Amino acid sequence: MTNITPFKKLNEIDFDFYFDTKNIFDEFDMGIIIINENGQIIYSNELYQMIFEDSSNQGSIFDSSYDKALFTGYKNKKSVEGYILKNYKNQKVYAKIKPLYKNSKFKGVIGIYELKEEENIIKIEKFKTQIKKNIKLKKEFKKIIGENKELKKILFMAQKVSKTNSTIMIKGESGTGKELLSNAIHNASDRNEEPFISINCSAIPKDLMESEFFGYEKGAFTGANKRKIGKFEYANKGTIFLDEIGDMPLELQTKLLRVLQEREIERVGGNETIKIDLRIIAATNRDLEQMVKNKEFREDLYYRLNVIPMNLPSLKERKEDIPLLVEHFNKELSKKYDLKKIKLTNDSLNMFINYSWPGNIRELQNIIERLLVLNEGEEISIKDLPQELSNIYEYQNHKEIDDIINIKLNGVMPTFKEYEKEIIKKAMKKYKTCNKAAKALGLTNKTVSAKVQKYNIEYK
Ligand SMILES: Nc1ncnc2c1ncn2[C@@H]1O[C@H](COP(=O)(O)OP(=O)(O)O)[C@@H](O)[C@H]1O
Ligand SMILES: [Mg+2]
Give every CB contact of residue 104 below 8 A, 6+ residues apart in sequence: none
165 with 110, same domain?
no
Q: Is 172 in the pocket of ligand 1 (CB under 6 A)?
A: yes
57 with 185, same domain?
no
How many domains are contained in the chain? 4
Q: Which pLDDT score, from 0 to 100, does residue 154 have? A: 95
Q: Is 284 in the pocket of ligand 1 (CB under 6 A)?
A: no
Q: Is 313 in the pocket of ligand 1 (CB under 6 A)?
A: no
Q: Whole domain around residue 340: which residue ranges?
A: 320-392
306 with 334, same domain?
no
163 with 299, same domain?
yes
Q: Which of 180, 242, 319, 357 to mutate to test the pocket of ligand 1 (most atoms within 8 A of CB)?
A: 180
Indicate which CATH number applies to the domain containing 385.
Answer: 1.10.8.60
Q: Is 145 in the pocket of ligand 1 (CB under 6 A)?
A: yes
Any domain includes 65: yes
The CA–CA distances, whole Å, from 182 to 93, 155, 211, 323, 365 equal 41, 11, 24, 24, 19
Any domain includes 135: no
Q: Which residue has a Cα nearest atom 16 of ligand 1?
A: 177
Residue 136 Cα to ligand 1 middle (Å):
21
62 with 186, same domain?
no
Indicate which CATH number applies to the domain containing 304.
Answer: 3.40.50.300
Residues 157/308, Cβ–Cβ less than 8 Å: yes
Give the separation between CA 248 and CA 202, rounded to whole angstroms.
7
183 with 262, same domain?
yes
Q: Which ligand is nearest to the CA of 183?
A: 1
Q: Cα angle at 345 between 89 and 133, to 5 degrees? A: 65
Q: What is 16-57 written as a DSSP string?
A: HHHHHH--GGGGSSSEEEEEETTSBEEEE-HHHHHHTT----
Residue 265 Cα to ligand 2 middle (Å):
26
296 with 342, same domain?
no
Reduced to 3 DSSP states, what percent helix, strand and coil does the chain have, rounded to the nearest 5? 45, 20, 35
Helices 346-354 and 387-405 meet at what angle, rounded to 10? Answer: 80
Give the separation between CA 204 and CA 449, rounded to whole angstroms.
66
Q: Is 177 in the pocket of ligand 1 (CB under 6 A)?
A: yes
- DSSP state letter for 313: P
- The series of mean pLDDT values per 10 residues for the chain, 460 residues long, is 42 51 63 88 84 74 74 86 79 87 87 74 44 69 94 94 94 96 97 96 90 92 89 96 95 93 92 94 96 96 95 94 95 95 91 90 96 91 84 46 44 62 82 85 82 84
Residue 369 Cα to ligand 1 middle (Å):
14
Give the separation between CA 74 and CA 11, rounded to whole angstroms.
15
182 with 202, same domain?
yes
Q: Which pLDDT score, from 0 to 100, does residue 44 have? A: 83
Q: Which pLDDT score, from 0 to 100, does residue 120 have? A: 41
Any domain includes 433: yes
Give the separation between CA 314 and CA 312, rounded to whole angstroms.
7
Residues 336/163, Cβ–Cβ less than 8 Å: no
Give the separation between CA 352 and CA 367, rounded to whole angstroms.
10
Indicate which CATH number applies to the domain containing 15.
Answer: 3.30.450.20
Nearest CA among 123, 137, 131 for reference residue 88: 123
| Beta-bridge mates of residue 200 | 243
Any domain includes 371: yes
Q: Cα angle at 107 between 58 and 45, to 5 degrees? A: 35
Q: Is 107 in the pocket of ligand 1 (CB under 6 A)?
A: no
Among residues 277, 311, 345, the one where a domain terminates is: 311
Q: Which ligand is nearest to the CA of 333?
A: 1
Residue 181 Cα to ligand 2 middle (Å):
10
Residue 166 Cα to ligand 2 middle (Å):
21
Among residues 311, 334, 366, the one where a domain terminates is: 311
Any domain includes 138: no
Report every protein residue that has its C-beta within 5 angstroms of ion ligand 2: 179
Residue 344 Cα to ligand 1 middle (Å):
22
Q: Which pLDDT score, from 0 to 100, does residue 23 have? A: 56
99 with 188, same domain?
no
Residue 122 Cα to ligand 1 middle (Å):
22
297 with 384, same domain?
no
195 with 303, same domain?
yes
The count of other CB atoms within 10 Å of the CB of residue 172 is 19
| Beta-bridge mates of residue 40 | 60
Any domain includes 373: yes
Q: Which ligand is nearest to the CA of 201?
A: 2
Residues 459/432, Cβ–Cβ less than 8 Å: yes
Nearest CA among 32, 198, 175 for reference residue 114: 32
Give the separation between CA 432 and CA 234, rounded to whole angstroms.
77
Q: Which ligand is nearest to the CA of 176?
A: 1
> Ligand 1: which atom is nearest the Cα of residue 173?
22
Q: Is 144 in the pocket of ligand 1 (CB under 6 A)?
A: yes
Task: Look up the pTM and report it.
Answer: 0.61
Q: Is 176 in the pocket of ligand 1 (CB under 6 A)?
A: yes
Give the separation between CA 74 and CA 111, rounded to whole angstroms.
10
Any domain includes 202: yes
346 with 303, same domain?
no
Any domain includes 410: no
Among residues 262, 292, 311, the one where a domain terminates is: 311
Q: Which residue has a Cα nearest atom 24 of ligand 1?
A: 362
